[in-house]
Structure 1
């Protein structure tokens, strides 16, 4: 009997930890931290100092997780109305609103404290602005106020490579802003593809996503337009001398793939194509930043 009780307690604790882990949106945070780390390496011709790499990554990860947890709190009623999110910890009552806010606050204080004390104040300040932009301005206001919510609010999600650059250089340069611009331009076609697939859920939840307010065909056209703009923007690292031919080759191939999916989505009905486009967009950004990182070091042994 005692063994069973202890076993049940262990299972309960494991489930509770999983719920809190889910509040941090770990998949999103991993992608954000990856782009931040790439920003760190691009900011220096050599290796990133180990303390900046460790504490910078940790601080940005904790702050991003804090913003994600706040998003869960403010979106719990919306999440409850959508099949995709109805099983999240807050809509199901597995985690209380008070506990989620306390968890988010603790993560945010820890992340910003690490950045301010162990990296630099500029990175901490920029991270704080990004955190407020996502957790408050986007989640509380923009998401419910305008169909252009993801365009305007995308600035917060585009910040990590700029934060990584600032962690190393303690300044914001034109190249860092170029990395920011790439993700800023990528965000609308990435998220609108998901919004097309989940149109009815957003409509039911009362969120004015573009497919809800302007229809699927208009949204699909905008996905094509933004994808073309993204392809152009991703050529800028090569055209400005930031990156070389290896990156250029990757950017052109990946951009061609994204445009293929966008055009296919424009012509095809149904949710499968929209979700495939959404999935490709995530792989696209990961691969694009991987090419940026590889190109940064490979030219040493592969002359241009």
Structure 2
């Protein structure tokens, strides 16, 4: 018996290898379109055959179902606009996945996509005080993240001032109840002057009063007395806001008295020690 030489492996041409690789990718799950996805299918929403040019709806890498794009777009529009829901679940029976807005952007169009994102943002800030910029050219969503009482605010987008309480443009010198009234340019300029000089209004007749100096309890021309600090009617020569400040002064004076007494006792003890030391030396 003679020894036989081993056969050399047969190498296929490069174009043949590429064909085999493409066939293997088509056979692998997720590697290219399968025959079922590229063929005809019946939409499970409208129960009508889809055209050959249309592909099945894919929710990214989460799920894909035999839905036509028109039906999916209508389904999302109903959930977002009518039900005001940002978390849209897949319409397939038994599917628990949620639709991804970025994956459905081409299906729903730019207008519905923006509305969908707005609803998602609103649902994410539930319980927080929010409003939209009253500027018709801006309409930016603004959130009160501090949680404090917000009044005069500035839109971070258009940089215009507005009132967070009444959701209107800033009404300098006027209350929120008066912000809806029609005012000319002179009223607007006067309101800015009031805000600049920090004038106060009489809580009874609503006239503006300016305090140059002196006691904060002022008397209006209507005969009523009010506090220039807190704009509260008073019938005494002081106000509650003044008593609170006086209370703070009393606490401060009490602490100073304790400190002075402690220093006096320390000084007496030091003098007594000096006298005792002199007696011992004598």
What's the TM-score once normalised by structure 1's chain length?
Answer: 0.18
Structure number having the greater helix percentage: 1
Give the greater-gyration-radius structure (CA).
2
**TM-score, normalization: structure 2?**
0.19
Higher normalized strand content (fraction of residues): 2
